Structure 1
Amino acid sequence: MSLLKHPEFRRLWTGQTASMFGTYVSRVAMPLVAATALAATPFQLGLLYAAQTVAFLVIGLPAGVWVDRLPARPVLVLSDTARALLLCSVPLAWWFGWLTMTQLLVVTLLGGVAAVFYDVAYQSYLPTLVGKEHLLEGNAKLESSRSVSQVAGPAVGGGLADLIGASNAVGFQALCYATSAASIFRISAQQRPQHQRERKPMLPEIAAGLRYVLGDPLIRAITGSSATFNFSYAVATPLLIVLLVDEARLPQWMVGALMAFGGIGGLVGAMTTQLVSRRFGPARMLWLPFLVCMPAALLVPLTQAGWGVLLFALPWFVVNYGLIVYSVAQMSFRQSICPDEMMSRLNATVRFFIWGIIPLGGVIGGALGEWIDVRAALALAGAGMVLSAVWVLLSPLRSMRELPTSKESRAPATQHDND
């Protein structure tokens, strides 16, 4: 049965779509608030980007243990509600003339804390809601929503910033999170019961998640590639606004439109993931995107005004196409091999590594852009995206076409956890 006929999945999908749409509106609106209303420097923009994900580094591991002990749906609803309330403070402060860079950083930081719980919970919730046999389809649909949001979110964010002001556009993001909370709240299906096991102190639980991820050579390689790519992507991301606004002197609506090309590439990637998997094999989807698609990132620093904007739009399309194909493959693989009782800790541990590195990348990217050169920093980031393949190419995955089953790939750490 197609998941389109699964009413509870449709509610989760609707909520995730609204949440993702709001996130990508903010990816343009918040930096534009900082850059245009508060005259932020490249380094400050790097700090703002880092604040989005630093919570994954600080509380990512214990969050996995906490979410393992709680039903996922209330965690999702409360996380979205918290983000909606936080973001409402930005337009309010702007209207009263109180808005500062410090407030933007605090709102972004606390919103990142809520995002940690949301991301861990929804990745753990999907297998219990639809069953592991529907994971590839479910993840492809969820990633298609992410990609549609990447298309529409920046375009809407840039357009709203021009039309009603960037700070008011942030208020629109709050409405998106409220919509997500309402949709997920309506899910009536009970979460499938998880394997009952003795509750242990938090540190041993965290250690079990670390052993599982680091002890399995396939998950370890995928985590290394993902972390390297995310670091490189984080170096580039705050500099893209500087490149388009300060270097190319483009209007805000065009900045949003160009950023949307990444979402179009991601949408095409989500729509073709199952086709690519059948044609090349799911294991090859874990390294081919880095070698085939990521070299396009090296063209982005050549962006100029006029027709030169194509040197941003087309490469950004290709980069994000490869990113989504890889993301669907690696997420489906992780979810399919992991036992239910370890799922939240697996997701949290992987997120700790692959999202915890993002703040460092954002700060380094901002520093390189301010103290060296924006275009040179973007070129270094593009090289890092290509080199992300090294982890997987040095692992057993390089010679595989099909991915192993749970029984074949389960890490020794699981045995310790169930003792």
Structure 2
Amino acid sequence: MEKTDGSAVAGAARTERGRLGVLRQREFRLLWLGETASGLGTGMTLVALPLVAVVVLRVDATAVGVLSAALWLPWLLIALPAGAWVDRLRKRPLMMVCNVVRAVLYASIPVAAWLDALTYAHLLVAALGSGAATVLFKTAYQAFLPEVLDGPDLVEGNAKLQGSEAGTQVVGRGVAGPVAQAFGAVLGLLLDAVTFLVSTACLAVMRVRERPAPGQENGTRTTLRRQIGAGLRFVFADAYLRTLVTYAALVNLAVMGAQAVQVVFLVRTVGVGPTTVGLLVMASAFGGVLGALLAVPVCRRLGTARGLLVTQMLTGPFALLVPLTRPGAGLLFFGAGWFAVSAGIVAGSVVVGTFRQRYCPPPLLGRITATSLFLNHGVIPVGSLLGGVLGDVLGLRPTMWIMTALLAPCWLVLAAGPVRGQRELPERSEVLPAAGKADG
């Protein structure tokens, strides 16, 4: 019987020594600390950036949607070549450069605001530039983690990274509102810039010997095109990857359509202030922490395939609570709905991320990751724009109903694919020989 991700979960459990587990390993601990720091700043930015647009520049819902889309548009523009670039380059120096670029861009916003020179165009440029750096960073990061942890520890490592990301975004989102209320929304972006520098410092002191990239042919344009094609063929030829990519794309479309207008919805329709906005988003994001904590035990008990399907089936429909949000006790609908959805998304991300890292051959991992993220994240600007336009045309509450009604049944995509009826996700792709030939 072929070894599966279920054995990886069990291996992670055996490897864990006390509560720290893989955090006892110095290199992973540094990576985790850096990602925790930048995750805190990113959580603040997710609230602070639209607050700057709404409160400081007083733009409409469509403009907020465009701004949210700008953060994700680079996934459509450069994600596919980014995968080929990442497979050619050393990952750690690339990640450090991306961090510095994001720090400079976010720091420029409060500087411009203090000089009374901040414009909406400035926000868009900063969002696009930081989004491009994030594409390269995230692609390199997914390919770098297997260099830090071996196979049996990947499940636990992914769970800890996803858990810290969710937890720091909870804190960051919660702090962003009160900081904006007391000191102005732009300060949160300056703090985000500092966290990227902390992450860079952690990466700089790591001692990881990366495996050399496979030799490349001369003729950059032709080779790059062939490399991109290899990643695309691998994903679309494989039933598991194809199903997971389709599911994630639909979820991201719906989630970002709702989240693009949720700050405006809470401020202008529900009638709450910046502090309450931050606290509500923080409370709902706690679900991501729970999802990361539950991912390993759920997969150990149910199996990776069955655990993925069950968590998505049980959490997605809670999205329908969000449009019911009202002042007072009705705010609980917002928190409960996004809490459950966040738990399901993070738990699924742990399973799918580990599956991809173990399932795909290392020489193709950057390209396969970039192809998956291109398809998954490429719909995010579409969702953000759609949410913003619908918010202005139909109203904010109807838009929330439309987007959450799309999100609730997305789990049916998984149920219709090869995940159904399986206990474990496989470890090795059956189309590997073809993918390897295409890469040659």
Q: TM-score normalised to the size of structure 2?
A: 0.92
Q: CA deviation at 1:126?
A: 0.1
**Partner in structure 1 of residue 423 of structure 2:** 401
Report the 3-state secondary structure (helix = DSSP H, G, I; strand = E; otherwise coil) of the residue aligned with 2:420: helix
Alignment of 1:130-279 (within 5 A): 130-196=149-215, 201-279=223-301
Unaligned 5+ segments in structure 2 are 1-14, 16-20
Counterpart CA distance in 2 for 1:291 and 1:380 is 19
Alignment of 1:20-419 (within 5 A): 20-196=39-215, 201-406=223-428, 408-411=429-432, 413-419=434-440
Q: CA deviation at 1:390?
A: 2.9
What code does the residue aligned with 1:170 have?
L
CA contact under 8 A between 1:263 and 1:317: conserved in structure 2? yes
What code does the residue aligned with 2:204 have?
F
Pair 317,370 (structure 1): closer, same or farther in 2 beyond 3 Å:
same
CA contact under 8 A between 2:147 and 2:208: conserved in structure 1? no
Unaligned 5+ segments in structure 1 are none
CA contact under 8 A between 1:284 and 1:401: conserved in structure 2? yes
RMSD across aligned positions (CA):
1.4
110-119 or 154-163, larger mean C-alpha shift: 154-163
Counterpart CA distance in 2 for 1:110 and 1:102 is 12
Pair 232,278 (structure 1): closer, same or farther in 2 beyond 3 Å:
same
What code does the residue aligned with 2:64 have?
L
What code does the residue aligned with 1:117 have?
L
CA contact under 8 A between 2:269 and 2:397: conserved in structure 1? no
CA contact under 8 A between 2:217 and 2:223: conserved in structure 1? no
Report the 3-state secondary structure (helix = DSSP H, G, I; strand = E; otherwise coil) of the residue aligned with 2:248: helix
Counterpart CA distance in 2 for 1:411 and 1:231 is 30
Counterpart CA distance in 1 for 2:349 and 2:91 is 22
348-357 or 379-388, larger mean C-alpha shift: 379-388
Identity %: 36
CA contact under 8 A between 1:227 and 1:353: conserved in structure 2? yes
Counterpart CA distance in 1 for 2:432 and 2:237 is 6
Deviations 1:51-82 (A, max 9, x none): 01100100000000001100000011000100
Report the 3-state secondary structure (helix = DSSP H, G, I; strand = E; otherwise coil) of the residue aligned with 1:304: coil
What code does the residue aligned with 1:5 have?
R
CA contact under 8 A between 2:103 and 2:192: conserved in structure 1? yes
Report the 3-state secondary structure (helix = DSSP H, G, I; strand = E; otherwise coil) of the residue aligned with 1:187: coil
Q: CA deviation at 1:412?
A: 5.4
Query: How many equivalent residue pairs?
Result: 418
CA contact under 8 A between 1:151 and 1:260: conserved in structure 2? yes
Counterpart CA distance in 1 for 2:164 and 2:388 is 29
What code does the residue aligned with 1:247 have?
T
**Partner in structure 1 of residue 8 of structure 2:** none
Counterpart CA distance in 1 for 2:224 and 2:436 is 18
Q: CA deviation at 1:418?
A: 4.9
Report the 3-state secondary structure (helix = DSSP H, G, I; strand = E; otherwise coil) of the residue aligned with 1:287: helix
What code does the residue aligned with 1:25 have?
M
CA contact under 8 A between 1:149 and 1:263: conserved in structure 2? no
What code does the residue aligned with 1:400 have?
Q
CA contact under 8 A between 2:33 and 2:202: conserved in structure 1? yes
Counterpart CA distance in 1 for 2:214 and 2:32 is 26
Counterpart CA distance in 1 for 2:237 and 2:380 is 23
Report the 3-state secondary structure (helix = DSSP H, G, I; strand = E; otherwise coil) of the residue aligned with 1:399: coil
Q: CA deviation at 1:195?
A: 5.0
What code does the residue aligned with 2:378 have?
G
138-147 or 181-190, larger mean C-alpha shift: 181-190
136-145 or 376-385, larger mean C-alpha shift: 376-385
94-103 or 371-380, larger mean C-alpha shift: 371-380
Report the 3-state secondary structure (helix = DSSP H, G, I; strand = E; otherwise coil) of the residue aligned with 2:41: helix
Counterpart CA distance in 2 for 1:224 and 1:120 is 19
368-377 or 44-53, larger mean C-alpha shift: 368-377
Q: CA deviation at 1:194?
A: 4.8
What code does the residue aligned with 2:302 have?
F
Counterpart CA distance in 1 for 2:270 and 2:122 is 29
CA contact under 8 A between 2:45 and 2:192: conserved in structure 1? yes
Counterpart CA distance in 2 for 1:76 and 1:213 is 24
**Partner in structure 2 of residue 6 of structure 1:** 25
Deviations 1:209-231 (A, max 9, x none): 00000010000000000001001
Counterpart CA distance in 1 for 2:205 and 2:331 is 43
CA contact under 8 A between 2:316 and 2:409: conserved in structure 1? no
